[in-house]
Amino acid sequence: MNEKNKRGWIKAAIILAILFAIGIIVVQGVKTYTNNMNPRTVVITGTGKVAAVPDVSTISFTLRSESKNDNTKTLQEDISKKADSVFAKLKELGIDEKDIKTTNYSVNPKYGYRDCYSASSIQPCESRYVLGYEASESVDVKVRSTENVSKVLDVLAGDKITEVYGPNFSIDDVEAVKDSARDLAIQDAKDKASVLAKSLGVKIKRIVSFSDNNGVAAPYPAVYRDSMNYAAGAVELQSAKVANIAEGQQDVVSNVSITFQIED
């Protein structure tokens, strides 16, 4: 083989080697691009639960005053006196003014009805007529001490307030409890992902996405015994007995969904 042919073969070999290397780089690039565009992932759900004792209760009640005339000013003065009396007693128990909130106030007519179709009715006849007026004020009281719940009920009973609802217990700083539950849920998902990766013979590379759905048990009414007397379909609190309150506990649950990217 002459020198010229030898150099030709060397050049051809070099060119083929370069083309082969370029081909490998292109294939690897396409593979990497494909993997990046369509990474292998697994979606894992995790659950965290924190049991918390409610530390706040809400008691609602309604004050009413009625009049058989149209003197609504007297009605409002009467409601104001009743409210001032109750509010003062609640504050004596240590209830902060900001925890006493009027949620509704109204003055409405009360109606009666005539039988305009009887033979004795006077014509013209209006079947509905105003009997008088009624004023009402609805109030929510937030009680931050369980020991005060029965005392608040006793105050309301002593002022002969029969429209009482609650107590309904809740967690005051519920967001902090939710955060704790979410942390447990995230750790639960990570632990599950590690176990699954080991079983599949792969590695967890990174977290691709995350979503959570925090939930907390709604405020619930307490069970209090020997504190009520049911009469004429209404609840009448007995001031002679102090309610026995059982606030129980609430489970704050967090559910998360995490998408993990996996690799060999």
Average the pLDDT over 25-35 and give the result. Answer: 51
Residue 131 has pLDDT above 60, yes or no: yes
What is the pLDDT at residue 132?
86
CA dist., res. 156 & res. 165, Å (int)? 11
Fold type of domain 39-55+171-264: Translation Initiation Factor IF3 (3.30.110)
- Of the two residues 114 and 190, the one the predictor is more confident about is 190
What is the pLDDT at residue 146?
81
What is the pLDDT at residue 3?
60
Contact 110, 131 (CB under 8 A): yes
> What is the DSSP secondary structure assignment for residue 192, as one 8-state letter?
H
Alpha-carbon distances of 158 from 90, 146, 178, 222, rounded to whole Å: 12, 19, 39, 21
CA dist., res. 63 & res. 80, Å (int)? 9
Instruction: Give which of 152, 177, 178 is closest to 166, Cα–Cα.
Output: 152
Contact 114, 127 (CB under 8 A): yes
- 209-250: pLDDT as tens digits: 999 876 555 454 554 433 333 333 334 444 344 456 666 778
What is the pLDDT at residue 217?
53
- Of the two residues 4 and 51, the one the predictor is more confident about is 51
- Of the two residues 64 and 16, the one the predictor is more confident about is 64
In this prediction the pTM is 0.60
- 2-28: pLDDT as tens digits: 565 566 666 666 766 666 666 665 556
CA dist., res. 222 & res. 189, Å (int)? 35
Average the pLDDT over 139-155 and give the result. Answer: 91
CA dist., res. 191 & res. 188, Å (int)? 5
What is the pLDDT at residue 1?
54
What is the pLDDT at residue 111?
84
- Of the two residues 204 and 31, the one the predictor is more confident about is 204
Domain edges within the chain: 1-38, 39-55+171-264, 62-163
Residue 52 has pLDDT above 70, yes or no: yes
Residue 187 has pLDDT above 90, yes or no: yes
Fold type of domain 62-163: Alpha-Beta Plaits (3.30.70)
* Average pLDDT in the chain: 79
Query: Range with the lowest mean pLDDT among 117-121, 135-139, 260-264?
Result: 117-121
| Percent of the chain with pLDDT strictly greater than 90 | 38
